[in-house]
Amino acid sequence: MGAPGPSTCNFCSGARHYIRECEVVNEYIRSGKCKRSPDGKVVLASGAMVLHGIMGAWLHDRVDEWHQLNPRQMAVQMLFEVMASATVPPNDAAGQSTCSCPAKHVDQPSGMTPLGIYALA
């Protein structure tokens, strides 16, 4: 492996573009193998940097090797991202839900009617 040229991509080793314009990076992102961090770096889907101890000449080689060593990590991360992007019901926007059905306290006698609606915290 030689040193990258003046316009060599550090991800795919392609000429005439840099990693920020790399279509191979975009394919890896779409497949869930990696993503861009808030500062634009290519990181694993979990947000972690690819360790330098992972073997590979170019970053895509190291990402592939990481996934070879950790085969179930991509699917798990994608599940968390789907769950995180799920919409929150309007009643639960503040992290609290209300129960619209009458509730009964454990120590309330069976003949008594419930007193009202209870908020769950």
To 5 degrees, how large is the angle CA 78–CA 80–CA 86? 105
> CA 103, 106, 109, 110 torsion: positive or negative?
positive
The three-class DSSP label of residue 67 is helix
- What pLDDT shows up at residue 114? 52
List, in sequence order, every beta strand (DSSP E) within 4-120.
34-36, 42-44, 97-98, 119-120
Consecutive 10-residue runs of the chain (121 residues): their mean pLDDT? 70 94 96 94 93 94 94 57 55 52 52 54 51
- What pLDDT shows up at residue 73? 72
- What pLDDT shows up at residue 7? 83
- What pLDDT shows up at residue 96? 54
- What pLDDT shows up at residue 72? 75
Enumerate the β-bridge partners of residue 97: 120
